[in-house]
Structure 1
Amino acid sequence: MIVRAVAAGDLAAWERLYAGYAAFYGVAQTEEMRARVWSWLMDPAHGTEGLVAEVDGVVVGIVHYRSFARPLSATIGGFLDDLFVGPEARGSGAAEALVEGVADVGRKRGWSLIRWITAEDNYRARGLYDRVAEKAKWVTYDIKL
């Protein structure tokens, strides 16, 4: 398994996986929405970046991430977004490899931590997350604008 930065040639595989991610969470996602996120990933000036997990030349998983300021600790952290592995590759270690890939980026950049959220009922993913990270004590709130 290879974990590497997302590249222009990954568009078709990325679209398939990102659409699967949206479907998993029951989010209506349009082609225009995916095109916008893809443009962010391809723009070095944008804060959103991505990695893919590849097995035998086939992209089987994706993850997006970005840095964020942590004023209280006066550090920069990394936020892991949108981790998804195709059903055909679940259990292959791709999800853990993608999490570790983001952690590697963070170590190289001097980030203080990697943070992410998941749905409370995403039990399969939480099994991995409970093994590789510490569950935060923070409760999340949203204001829809």
Structure 2
Amino acid sequence: MQIRTVTPADESDWSDLYRGYRAFYALPDDDTAVLTTWSWVSRGEHGLTGLVAVDDAQRVIGLANLRRFARPSSASTGLYLDDLFTAADARGQGVATALLQEAAALAGREGATVVRWITAADNSRARQVYDRSAVATPWVTYDMRPALD
């Protein structure tokens, strides 16, 4: 397995995996969302970097989408892991761990002070991997809708 940044040739495999990610989280099937996210990730828009895990046959078997964010309280920067997903037939083979390790290496190369992410409380399989790679925080996440005039 190789971990690397996305290339234009990855679009089809990446899109299939990203659709699987969206389905896992019960998000609506939305080709526009997949295409828009691919555009951002593949072009590095919004500070995004797309990582992929590729098997020996050059098939994309995992993805990680990371973006940079400022950390005013520590006057530093971090990487936020927006999405991490592994193909069903590649689970249990260390794909997610390898992607997390590359995210940590990227953060180190860039001088970031943290790699941060959220996951669903009931995502027990992923949380087993995450607990081996990181420390769960005590913070609670909130979402607020924008005000409409």
What's the TM-score, normalizing by structure 1? 0.96
In the alignment, what sits opposite 1:76?
77
The 3-state SS of whatever aligns with 1:72 is helix
In the alignment, what sits opposite 1:27?
27
How many residue pairs are counted as aligned between the two chains?
145
> Unaligned stretches of 5+ in structure 2?
none
What is the correspondence of 1:1-145 to structure 2 with a 5 Å cutoff?
Answer: 1-56=1-56, 57-145=58-146
Task: Report how far residue 45 of structure 1 moved.
Answer: 4.6
> Unaligned stretches of 5+ in structure 1?
none
RMSD: 1.0
Task: Report how far residue 42 of structure 1 moved.
Answer: 2.2
Task: Report how far residue 46 of structure 1 moved.
Answer: 3.3
- In 2: Cα distance, 1:83 partner to 1:123 partner: 14
- In 1: Cα distance, 2:18 partner to 2:48 partner: 15
What code does the residue aligned with 1:123 have? S
